[in-house]
């Protein structure tokens, strides 16, 4: 996967991209990692989708994979930055969307704050797995340490909001984040699921 960076850099149609490792999303430590599953996030004009789906990089990944999950998303909202950039532009009002929603969280954790962060994660992940309206969730990251996030699929925008602002564990984590200041950078984005194929 790591060898594909040059191909992605050369593709001028891609606005933003990240190669992602994945994990169970339970402790956000290296023991969560799943070396058999990886991901690619790209922002690309809709007119270029067919060309990208038939590109050498996708064909190569398909040839090495047992299965593939692909989801086409349209941004509803995004707060924060990713690698110093604001990669997602809000295009769709949540009031005009009644279908499934993907939430992506991503944070760059201050190195000396990692132990505190890891101790705070378990209650949130337990509540996430039990959240009403959650379809599926995994951990994502650009590196085993310090660059952590989640990719979750929800039945609706209302389900995401209920978990984010009404769940006690998540509210406690938000308060701890403000107090501990463990993030050097963070992003939270919601997307409408336009189409999907395969299984996460």
- CA 165 remoteness from chain centre: 19
Tens-binned pLDDT, residue by residue, of the chain (200 aa): 888 999 999 999 999 999 999 987 666 667 778 888 999 999 999 999 999 999 999 999 999 999 999 999 999 999 999 999 999 987 776 667 889 999 999 988 776 666 666 666 655 666 777 788 999 988 898 876 667 888 999 999 999 888 877 756 555 655 656 666 677 788 999 999 999 999 88
Q: Which fold has domain 21-37+73-197?
A: Alpha-Beta Plaits (3.30.70)
CB contact set of 148 (below 8 Å; sequence gap of 6+): 28, 106, 107, 109, 139, 140, 141
187 SS3 class: strand
DSSP string, 25-80: SSS-SGGGEEEEEEEEEEE--GGGHHHHHTSHHHHHHHHH-S---EEEEEEEEEEE
Distance CA 61, CA 104 (A): 23
Q: What local confidence, expressed as pLDDT, does residue 130 receive?
A: 79
Give me 64's structure tokens.
Answer: 């090495």
Residue 144's φ and ψ, nearest 5 degrees, are -65, -25
Q: What local confidence, expressed as pLDDT, does residue 59 receive?
A: 94
Q: What local confidence, expressed as pLDDT, does residue 182 receive?
A: 73
């Amino acid at each position: 996967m790591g060898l594909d960076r040059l191909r992605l850099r050369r593709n001028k149609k891609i606005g933003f991209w990240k190669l992602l490792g994945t994990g169970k999303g339970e402790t956000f430590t290296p023991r969560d990692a799943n070396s058999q599953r990886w991901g690619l996030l790209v922002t690309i004009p809709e007119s270029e989708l067919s060309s990208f789906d038939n590109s050498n990089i996708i064909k190569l990944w398909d040839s090495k994979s047992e299965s593939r999950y692909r989801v086409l998303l349209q941004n509803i909202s995004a707060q924060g930055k990713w690698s110093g950039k604001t990669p997602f532009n809000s295009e769709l009002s949540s009031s005009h969307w009644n279908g499934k929603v993907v939430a992506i969280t991503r944070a760059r954790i201050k190195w000396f704050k990692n132990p505190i962060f890891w101790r705070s994660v378990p209650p949130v992940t337990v509540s996430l797995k039990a959240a009403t309206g959650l379809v599926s969730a995994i951990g994502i990251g650009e590196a085993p340490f310090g660059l952590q996030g989640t990719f979750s699929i929800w039945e609706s925008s209302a389900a995401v909001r209920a978990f984010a602002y009404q769940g006690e564990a998540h509210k406690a984590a938000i308060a701890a984040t403000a107090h501990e200041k463990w993030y050097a950078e963070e992003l939270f984005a919601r997307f409408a699921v336009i189409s999907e194929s395969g299984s996460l």
